Structure 1
Amino acid sequence: MHETVLFIHSWWAYLVLLVLLVATVNFIIGISSKKEYAATDFRLALFSLIVSHIQLLIGIVLYFISPYFKAFGQLGMGEVMKDSTLRLYLVEHPLIMVIAVALITIGYSKHKNKRLSNQKFKTLGIFYGLALVFVLSRIPWSAWF
Structure 2
Amino acid sequence: MYTGIQHLHSGIAYLALLALVVVIIYMLIGSLSGREFTEKDRKIGLIAFILCHIQLLVGLILYFVSPLGFAMLQTGNAMSDPAARLLAVEHPVINIIAIVLITIGYSRAKKPGPSRGRFRNIYMMYALGLVLLLSRIPWTLWLG
TM-score (norm 2): 0.93
Deviation at residue 3 of structure 1 after TM alignment: 0.7
Give the one of 127, 130, 133 matched to 1:129: 127
SS at match of 2:79: helix
CA distance in 1, matches of 2:102, 2:113: 19
- Give the conservation status (yes or no) of the 8 Å contact 2:102–2:125: yes
How do 1:1-145 residues align onto structure 2 when only pairs under 5 Å count? 1-68=1-68, 69-74=70-75, 76=76, 79-145=77-143
Identity of aligned residues (%): 44
Query: Could you list the per-position Cα deviations for residues 100-139 of structure 1 after superposition, in whole angstroms to 9, with x for gaps in the alignment?
Result: 1101111111112242210111111111110111111111
- Where is the helix percentage greater, Structure 1 or Structure 2? 1
- Given residue 4 of structure 2, which amino acid in structure 1 is its aligned partner? T
What are the ranges of 5 or more consecutive residues in structure 1 without an aligned counterpart? Answer: none
TM-score (norm 1): 0.92
Higher deviation after alignment, 62-71 or 87-96: 62-71
What are the ranges of 5 or more consecutive residues in structure 2 without an aligned counterpart? Answer: none
Structure 1 vs Structure 2 CA RMSD: 1.2
Equivalent residue pairs, number:
142
- Give the conservation status (yes or no) of the 8 Å contact 2:42–2:110: no
- Given residue 33 of structure 2, which amino acid in structure 1 is its aligned partner? S
Q: Deviating runs (4+, > 4 A) in structure 1?
A: none
